[in-house]
Amino acid sequence: MAPHGSIAQAAQNLNRSYKKAWRLVASLNAQAQTPLVSTQTGGRKGGGTLLTPAGHHVVTAFRGIQQRLTPFLAAETDRLSS
């Protein structure tokens, strides 16, 4: 995982607007039982963003699902292309 420590930097790396990224983070936090992302205000040097333990768990679970699905999807693509 490449931590950015800021929503603005993560948004820039994903070619998304800061506003869109902030909405996604807020939506994820609202839908989860506990916040997935923790933010600290403070501006240029004092603020920041961190994944919470629950956020790390979700990322790990997602990567596991992605890892298991990738070979299946590749095989299905090959089958459909034949």
Dihedral sign of CA atoms 12, 15, 18, 23 in order: negative
Segment 23-60, tens digit of pLDDT = 999 999 999 999 999 988 776 666 788 899 999 999 99
User: What percentage of the chain exceeds 90 in pLDDT?
Assistant: 70
What pLDDT shows up at residue 4? 65
Residue ranges per structural domain of the chain: 7-81
Q: CATH class for domain 7-81?
A: mainly alpha
Q: Write phi, then psi, for 16 (nearest 5 degrees).
A: -120, 160
What pLDDT shows up at residue 1? 43
